[in-house]
Amino acid sequence: MAKRRGYHFALLVYFLMCTAQELAASRAGYEYIVEADAWLRLHIVPATWSDARLRCHLEGGVLASPTTTAIATAMSAMMADSKMTTRFVFIGVHALISKGDFMSLDGVPLANLSIRWREWEPNNVKNNEDCVTIDGAGEANDVSCDSPHPYFCRKETAKMTVNKCGTTADGYKLEPRTGSCYKLHRLARNWHRAAMACHAEEAHLAVINSNLESQVLKEIFAAVPNNVIKSGDPNFAFVGVWDWNEHGEWLTVFGESLPEAGFDGWSPNEPNNAGGQEFCGSIKRDGLLNDYPCLIRLPFICEITPK
Ligand code: BGC
Ligand code: CA
């Protein structure tokens, strides 16, 4: 009898392990590569190499390189499974530090990577090919860093834990008064980069839907003193509204007007379009709205709205 129970227990454990594996197989667009104990994501929307690098970084990962044969094999399999119209995918290999000396982003030289050049490559066409793609067969080609390609990001298992805000990104805190999670980024970015950073964390630039939410953001901002804001004006933080048509028609990032969103509290004398280029939305430390130049860097607040 005891033996039988042991058998059933073993079966149960096996079943639970299988289920856990299934769940672990895909998360936030990433696939678990068992042989490498790493997570890979194939971004099929083409981007320049530096935008691809930034996107991976903002997701908490790196632009991936085929550092081992296990990773190289997984990359080929993912490319074969995808619905891409192009054959070439950016990897983290580049020669931007020293021309012709290709290395991965963590400095591993080409000789130690699992890479095979295509015939006649690398050829540095127009002396402008410092970035590297691979094709479905895993063969490498040096290409211009400025031409957009799909790309691979890689994240370590330790960075894949989903928190109670539903994201693998750190720094999000649930606010019971609104039911949303928020994160104030102290490293300043321009408005579009800020939006990109939020999306990379499965969030969006914060949208204020009530006086209460404006108060909540005011408190979150107040908790971050001026001297810990890195490289931007510490008196403003970007949020998810913009004057998309540059004619004073302010919309949220969900396309609603401010009254539709439920909050149109501008700070005194705002919006004033100071300097004629203030088409993106921020809050001041009073928690009220201010128009601000989209291209100047500010701290910013991301939000995850519960599903
Ligand atoms: C003004 C804001 C403006 C900001 C731009 C502030 O002094 O009050 O209206 O958006 O400067 O730098
Ligand atoms: Ca203004």
The span from the CA of 127 to the CA of 131, in Å, is 12
Q: Are residues 275 and 167 in the same domain?
A: yes
Cα end-to-end span (Å), the chain: 47
With respect to residue 14, please indicate whether it lies within any of the assigned structural domains: no
Q: Are residues 151 and 270 in the same domain?
A: no
With respect to residue 50, please indicate whether it lies within any of the assigned structural domains: yes
Q: Are residues 36 and 149 in the same domain?
A: yes
From the CA of 297, how far away is ligand 2's center (Å)? 14
The span from the CA of 40 to the CA of 28, in Å, is 10
Q: Are residues 144 and 194 in the same domain?
A: no
Q: Are residues 228 and 285 in the same domain?
A: yes
- 168 backbone dihedrals φ, ψ, rounded to 5°: -90, -5
Low-confidence ranges of the chain (pLDDT < 50): 1-3, 11, 13-24
The span from the CA of 238 to the CA of 192, in Å, is 10
Query: Which ligand 1 atom is the nearest neighbour of the CA of 292?
Result: 10
The span from the CA of 200 to the CA of 183, in Å, is 13
Q: What is the per-residue pLDDT for 16?
A: 47
Q: Are residues 69 and 96 in the same domain?
A: yes
From the CA of 271, how far away is ligand 2's center (Å)? 5
The span from the CA of 262 to the CA of 208, in Å, is 7
Q: Are residues 106 and 171 in the same domain?
A: no
Q: Are residues 60 and 148 in the same domain?
A: yes
Pocket test for ligand 1, best of 243, 278, 295 (most atoms within 8 A of CB): 278
Of 157, 184, 212, which one is at a domain's C-terminal end? 157
| CATH code, 252 | 3.10.100.10
Written as one string, the DSSP assignment of 98-140 is STT--B-TT--BGGGSS-EEPTT----GGG---EEEE-TT-EE
Domain count of the fold of the chain: 2
Q: Domain range for residue 223?
A: 162-304
Given a contact cutoff of 8 angstroms between Cβ atoms, the answer to whether 122 and 13 are in contact is no
- CA angle 241/243/244 to nearest 5° reads 100
Query: Which ligand 1 atom is the nearest neighbour of the CA of 272?
Result: 9
What single letter denotes the amino acid at residue 263? F
With respect to residue 212, please indicate whether it lies within any of the assigned structural domains: yes
Three-state secondary structure call for residue 63 = strand
Q: Are residues 137 and 169 in the same domain?
A: no
With respect to residue 172, please indicate whether it lies within any of the assigned structural domains: yes
For residue 22 the two structure tokens come to 């299934």
Residue 2: how many CB atoms within 10 A of its CB? 6
Q: Which residues have C-beta within 8 Å of that of residue 210, sequence separation ≥ 6? A: 178, 262, 263
Q: What is the per-residue pLDDT for 8?
A: 56
- 4 backbone dihedrals φ, ψ, rounded to 5°: -60, -45
The span from the CA of 142 to the CA of 233, in Å, is 40
142 lines ligand 1 (CB under 6 A): no
Q: What is the per-residue pLDDT for 6?
A: 55
With respect to residue 188, please indicate whether it lies within any of the assigned structural domains: yes
Q: Are residues 210 and 228 in the same domain?
A: yes
The span from the CA of 152 to the CA of 56, in Å, is 8
From the CA of 284, how far away is ligand 1's center (Å)? 9
Q: What is the per-residue pLDDT for 144?
A: 98
Given a contact cutoff of 8 angstroms between Cβ atoms, the answer to whether 284 and 237 are in contact is no
Of 157, 188, 209, which one is at a domain's C-terminal end? 157
Query: Which ligand 1 atom is the nearest neighbour of the CA of 275?
Result: 5
Q: Are residues 153 and 186 in the same domain?
A: no
- 242 backbone dihedrals φ, ψ, rounded to 5°: -155, 155
With respect to residue 109, please indicate whether it lies within any of the assigned structural domains: yes
Of 137, 157, 177, which one is at a domain's C-terminal end? 157
From the CA of 235, how far away is ligand 1's center (Å)? 9
Q: Are residues 232 and 114 in the same domain?
A: no
Given a contact cutoff of 8 angstroms between Cβ atoms, the answer to whether 110 and 70 are in contact is no
With respect to residue 189, please indicate whether it lies within any of the assigned structural domains: yes
Residue 183 CB-half CA count within 13 A: 23
For residue 5 the two structure tokens come to 């129970």
Q: What is the per-residue pLDDT for 179?
A: 97
With respect to residue 269, please indicate whether it lies within any of the assigned structural domains: yes
Q: What is the per-residue pLDDT for 9?
A: 52
- Which H or E element spans position 12? helix 2-24
